[in-house]
A and B are shown apart, each in its own frame.
Chain A
């Protein structure tokens, strides 16, 4: 298995809803990442987990809450989002957090906040 699987592919939620995005990989990778991507823009890093511990939090608002239950799974819990949070949310993984390891990306969750 050489994939990063993200579910759901599309999500529409109201500003008062609570939802979660899920990311899964079975490549034995020990670093996992959440990115936010607006249309025709590069991805912006949100969080990095390395060996199941939060390594980087790019000053993301607390309405986004990451969770890494085990080495294969990464969740992003969403609560009280704003319309400007509508974006493509990409998950990625790499064998380790060193520079020479390439990233494997999922195909993302398209989130719309109404």
Chain B
């Protein structure tokens, strides 16, 4: 079974600075999807960024980018120019390519943004 590990329970960043959230995963599959979800105090889970394992190029969405190291099974999220609205719980998630497989979440990292 696949597992997802987020080793940082909490992180802090100064407004306008850059922060990196770590995620590692364990799988024997060669093709799969990885996701970062954000859950602010409003409770809604919001998809931040998605990476397809067979794509070498790291995904980027505005201020959010990933460092995907397939051999190391690492999928970190970099947030540039941090804003107060980035404060949230961030979950890393894995999904197998096999039809019907469920999303596997990591334990989450609480990100605090200081003004």
Are A99 and B107 closer than 8 Å at their CB atoms? Answer: no
Interface size on A, residues (CB 8 A): 24
Give chain A residues whose Cβ lies under 8 Å from the Cβ of B105: 42-43
Contact A97 B99 (CB under 8 A): yes
A-B contacts, 28 of them at CB < 8 A, read A40-B108, A40-B110, A42-B105, A42-B107, A42-B108, A43-B45, A43-B105, A45-B102, A45-B103, A48-B100, A48-B102, A56-B100, A56-B102, A97-B100, A99-B33, A99-B95, A99-B97, A99-B99, A100-B33, A100-B52, A102-B35, A102-B47, A102-B50, A103-B45, A104-B47, A105-B45, A107-B42, A108-B43
Give B contacts to A, CB under 8 Å.
Answer: 32-33, 35, 42-47, 50, 52, 89, 91, 95-103, 105-108, 110
Closest A residue by C-beta to B105: A42
Binding site for B on A (CB under 8 A): 40-43, 45, 48, 50, 55-56, 88, 90, 92, 97-100, 102-108, 110
